[in-house]
Amino acid sequence: MPQTSQQQPFPVACEGGLIKDTSVLAMPPGSCKKLENFEPAITGGYRRINGFSKYDSNELSGSGAVLGIQILGSSVIGARGAHLEKSTGSGWTSIVTNRTDADRYDFTKYRWANTEKIAGADGDNQAFIYDGSTYTLLSGTGAPADPHTVEEFRNHLFFTGANSGNTSQIDFCAPFSENDFTAANGAGTIDVGDKVVGLKAFRDQLYIFCENSIFRLAGTSIADFQLGPISRNIGCINRFSIQEIAGDIIFLAPDGIRTVAATEKIGDVELGTISKAVQSTLTGITSADISSLVIREKTQYRLFFPKSAAEDQVASAGLIGVLKRQSAADLNWEWADIRGIKPYVCTSDFIGDTEYILHGGYDDGFVYRQESGNDFNGGKIPATYTSPDLTLGDPGIRKLLKRININYEAEGTMTFQLSARFDYEDVDIIQPAAISVSEVGLPLYGSNAYGSGFYGGFGTPILRQLMVGSGFAIAIKIAQDTATNNPFIIRGFELDVVPGGRR
């Protein structure tokens, strides 16, 4: 029988995120075999995500899914059916009721003459502008009939879409005049020779994403606009995947999630695709119902791809990508799965100093606020972390697991199920039952009212749990599946093992 004095620690720092493109033997110890509803934390480790709740307890007027959301000033603009409405969180006020047969909306926000406005396009009606009080349909002579995309660039509004069948054409208005499409006043058209999917203004250029190519437009007016290619063999799957994040543009291409900067270097050492670790998740998804947003304070990109209206919300899937700095000169993307959030459209922006993360219902007419609460609008947040199968340096030595020490940070009472899985969860091996763990977060000093602090909280955030079982490879699993739980971060863990016999 091995002696306790032979006990050996094996520490693991949680970093690297979800990895699905390599064998378990090649996975870094701190990465994940499963990471669902945990987000790679920018401060290190993996954090259980927040929930979502209704932004307004009232549904938008109309029927069907929410077709668009945009923030303007202190209000949220919402679209559903033929209706366009606004709310500050306590009831929706009508803006217009005649946008019939509308598809999903594309919005752009801009400021001309010190007035903040939004422009919107839905693919079936003429575009519009709204400044918080006045709604104007863009129906001037030569205006595009049914654009699906609108973007402000260099004091012009640019439109793409069906345009009577000309899907490679981009129309733009005269400078500082949204409803003027007269060429003599500075309006015009550009044909890029490929079906346009979406537009994104970034710094001093307008990026044009097509089905099989990407272009950029530079210049300030029709007199000096210049069109140049970025790629002629890589395009964008869906305009609702395009986002600006961390000084770059991210989008979904046929070979995965890419950044524009990396795609421009396709002939260089940079391969461009940043989602290889989770590529199997993206394989086979359809483009119709993709939506995305960014959470700026977390340098986080969220991509959602529900399959259909009939799909249960619990099964609805998505991805979280977090850009993290590994060293002074090295940035890396870490990934995780989302399950249980089912948006039809989503957006993020600031109201005052607060970032609002919003999505519109796929199955109803509510607008929901993400990063709010500890449940999914009253439902569970099913969260699971599973480490790689760790051989601890020698796959031929049996390890007797004595204890797991987990370095954590709790944001209140922390409850989960902890289990050890041996030998790649071999069905011929009896796996130990999960252990229920409940711990109190660290005391809060300086901000708590007297009598409300957590007494008895750990001074050192280490959970020490005795364990049983043995195997040649060990993985740990942390699962949370109750109605309401506080978020917590898994910073790392240590396995205390005693070496046994050699196989």
Tens of pLDDT, residue by residue, the chain (503 residues): 445 567 899 999 999 999 999 988 889 999 999 999 999 999 899 999 999 999 999 999 999 999 999 999 999 999 999 999 999 999 999 999 999 999 999 999 999 999 999 999 999 999 999 999 999 999 999 999 999 999 999 999 999 986 556 789 999 999 999 999 999 999 999 999 999 999 999 999 999 999 999 999 999 999 999 999 999 989 999 999 999 998 999 999 999 999 998 877 654 334 578 999 999 999 877 666 899 999 999 999 999 998 776 677 777 899 999 998 765 557 799 999 999 999 999 999 999 999 999 999 999 999 999 999 999 999 999 999 999 999 998 899 999 999 999 999 999 888 999 999 999 999 888 899 999 998 876 554 444 444 444 444 444 589 999 999 999 999 999 999 877 889 999 999 999 999 988 87
Q: Which two tokens stand for residue 358?
A: 């919003």
3 state DSSP class of 165? helix
d(CA 81, CA 60): 9
**Measured CA distances, 492 to 16, 35, 375 (Å):** 12, 14, 25
The structural domains of the chain, with segments of one domain joined by +, span 4-50+384-502
pTM summary value: 0.92
Q: Could you tell me the fold of the domain covering 4-50+384-502?
A: Jelly Rolls (2.60.120)
**Measured CA distances, 138 to 103, 169, 187, 490 (Å):** 17, 18, 14, 52
pLDDT tens per residue across span 151-191:
999 999 999 986 556 789 999 999 999 999 999 999 999 99
| CB burial string 76-85: b at 16+ within 10 A, e below | bbbbbbbbbb
Asked if residues 31 and 21 have their Cβ atoms less than 8 Å apart, the reply is no
d(CA 209, CA 200): 8
d(CA 99, CA 78): 13
